[in-house]
């Protein structure tokens, strides 16, 4: 019996399996970067983040705005005080705008 148990433990170790509960394993912390809608601008206009970062837009103005991807990846209307979050898992530059106020533009640069 000990030989079987030893073999199972050895195989589990070989494949990186752990008997530790999920809470005890170290996990990569979720990173969030805030982008505010201030009057008629996104602040910061360009957010530079690592892969896996969540961008959280918050409309701090008194006017409804959108955060709309230039390539159709997302489109969210933000009433005053509303928020919207999206996680960026791949590298690239993601440009966006407010579809109500097209002069409002921004970008997320993911490395």
Q: What are the pLDDT digits (tens) for 54-64?
A: 999 999 999 99
Query: What is the per-residue pLDDT for 30?
Result: 74
Taken as a whole, the chain contains a residue count of: 111
User: Residue 5: pLDDT above 60?
Assistant: no
- Does residue 90 come out as left (phi exceeding 0), alpha (psi in the -120 to 50 range) or beta? beta
Instruction: Map residue 13 onto helix, strand or coil.
Output: helix
User: Could you state, in order of their start, the residue ranges of all structural domains in the chain?
Assistant: 27-110
Percentages (nearest 5) of helix, strand, coil residues in the chain = 15, 45, 40
Mean pLDDT of all residues belonging to the chain: 84
pLDDT in tens, 47-98: 999 999 999 999 999 999 999 999 999 999 999 999 999 999 999 999 999 9
Domain 27-110 has CATH 3.50.50.60: no
Residue whose structure tokens are 């097209």 = 102
């Amino acid at each position: 019996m000990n030989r079987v148990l030893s073999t199972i433990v050895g195989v589990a170790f070989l494949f990186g399996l752990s008997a530790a509960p999920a809470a005890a394993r170290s996990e990569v912390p979720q990173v969030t970067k805030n982008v505010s809608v201030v009057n008629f601008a996104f602040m910061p206009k360009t957010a530079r983040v690592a892969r896996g970062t969540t961008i959280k837009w918050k409309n701090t103005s008194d006017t409804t705005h959108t955060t709309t991807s230039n390539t159709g990846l997302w489109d969210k209307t933000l009433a005053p005080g509303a928020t919207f979050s999206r996680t960026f898992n791949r590298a690239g530059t993601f440009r966006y705008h407010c579809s109500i106020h097209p002069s409002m533009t921004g970008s997320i640069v993911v490395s």
